[in-house]
Amino acid sequence: MRVQISGLAKRYDARAVLRGIHLTIASGEFVAIVGASGSGKSTLLRLLAGLETPDAGSILLDGTPLRGLNRDARVMFQDARLLPWRRVIDNVRLGLDHAHDDRGAAALRMVGLPDRDRDWPAILSGGQRQRVALARALASNPRLMLLDEPLASLDALTRIEMQRLIESLWIENDFSAVLVTHDCAEAVALADRVLMLERGGIAMELRVSLPRPRDRGDRQFGALEGQVLNRILGRDNAAAQLDNSETNRMARARSAR
């Protein structure tokens, strides 16, 4: 799905959250959005999902204006939002008609949980619950996947495993993806482009051309991660150069282990 955003604006009472956003997301592209808390990242995702209405501007999906709910998109939130009174397979099948019940089992296979279909959500680990949430999103064959900090509550190792899973599923299923994250390494690991929101607009755009799968110990990876972090923190050029030098040194040290 190709997404074209023109002059998108959103206010909450007197506070302007987004001010005239212009952005094009190519079909099959993976875009990460970073920025400080309150910069409008999640608001932009909700507008793309059709969960909220913009105050100005337009969103075109393959050239067609978005009006109402975006039925070609699925959202994965930080909280898995599983229904505790439904078994795993029934959570995955939510929103599907009975003619497509087989998609639930297929989605669980894709996320590596084919044998947990009859389990209750309460006995799953945090990472497993997020895998179920991902399976639920995949079961509808979305053309646009919207990821609103879905891995923020996971431990470091599980988070990296989930990042690799999301990347492999994105490659395999060929959907467009927009990820909101506070994790600069996660943005560089997954995205074709990293965008930073600030004061209601796009303040930075960084293209990530590293080959996939990406090596976090690579010098270029560390440099890009440092560049994104320094821009978010608003550091001056001298401080940024010092930090990037240290980031590169640490990356070289990790690679030498």
Condensed to tens digits (0 to 9), the pLDDT of residues 122-146 reads 999 999 999 999 999 999 999 999 9
Give the pLDDT confidence score for residue 99 in this predicted structure: 56
Q: Are residues 150 and 137 in the same domain?
A: no
Residue partners of 115: CB distance under 8 A and separation at least 6 = none
pLDDT at 253: 53
How many other C-beta atoms are found inside a 10 Å radius of the C-beta of residue 69?
Answer: 10
Are residue 50 and residue 160 in the same domain, yes or no?
Answer: yes
In a domain, 53, yes or no: yes
**What pLDDT, on a 0 to 100 scale, did the predictor assign at position 241?**
47
Report whether pLDDT(236) > 60.
no
40 with 160, same domain? yes
Question: Using omega within 30 degrees of 0 as the cis cutoff, is the peptide bond preceding 211 cis?
Answer: no
In a domain, 78, yes or no: no
Is the same domain home to 65 and 1? yes
* Domain shared by 48 and 171, yes or no: yes
How many domains is the chain built from? 3
Say if residue 91 is in the same domain as residue 35.
Answer: no
User: Is residue 47 in a domain?
Assistant: yes
- 1 and 66 in one domain? yes
Specify whether 1 is located in the same domain as 59. Answer: yes
CATH number of the domain bearing residue 167: 3.40.50.300
Q: Are residues 55 and 179 in the same domain?
A: yes
Tokens 């105050």 locate to 55
In a domain, 223, yes or no: yes
Q: Which whole-number Å values give the CA distances from 120 to 86, 98, 212, in the listed order?
A: 7, 21, 35
The predicted structure's pLDDT at residue 131: 96
Q: Out of 117, 141, 165, pick the residue that ends a domain.
A: 141
Same domain as 49, residue 153: yes
Q: pLDDT tier at 95 (50, 70, 90 boundaries)?
A: confident
- Taking only the tens place, the pLDDT of each residue in 20-78 is 999 999 999 999 999 998 899 999 999 999 999 999 999 999 999 999 999 999 999 98
Q: What's the domain range around 251?
A: 215-257
- Whole-structure pTM value: 0.88
Two structure tokens written together for 201? 């607009």
Determine, yes or no, domain membership for 77. no
Judgement on whether residues 203 and 234 belong to the same structural domain of the protein: no
Kindly report the length of the chain. 257
* Cα(61)–Cα(29) distance, integer angstroms: 14
**98 and 154 belong to one structural domain:** no
pLDDT at 22 (0 to 100): 97
Residue 248 has pLDDT above 80, yes or no: no
Reported as a single tens digit per residue, the pLDDT across 144-183 is: 999 999 999 899 999 999 999 999 999 999 999 999 999 9
Band of the pLDDT at 235, cuts 50, 70, 90? low
109 in a structural domain: yes
Backbone angles phi, psi at 195, to 5 degrees: -115, 140
Please give the pLDDT value at position 14.
87
Last residue of a domain, one of 141, 166, 186: 141
Cα gap 86→132, rounded to integer Å: 12
Q: What is the pLDDT of residue 96?
A: 83
Token pair belonging to 130: 């997020």
For residue 89, the tally of other CB atoms under 10 A from its CB is 19
Examine residue 10 and state whether it is found in any structural domain, yes or no: yes
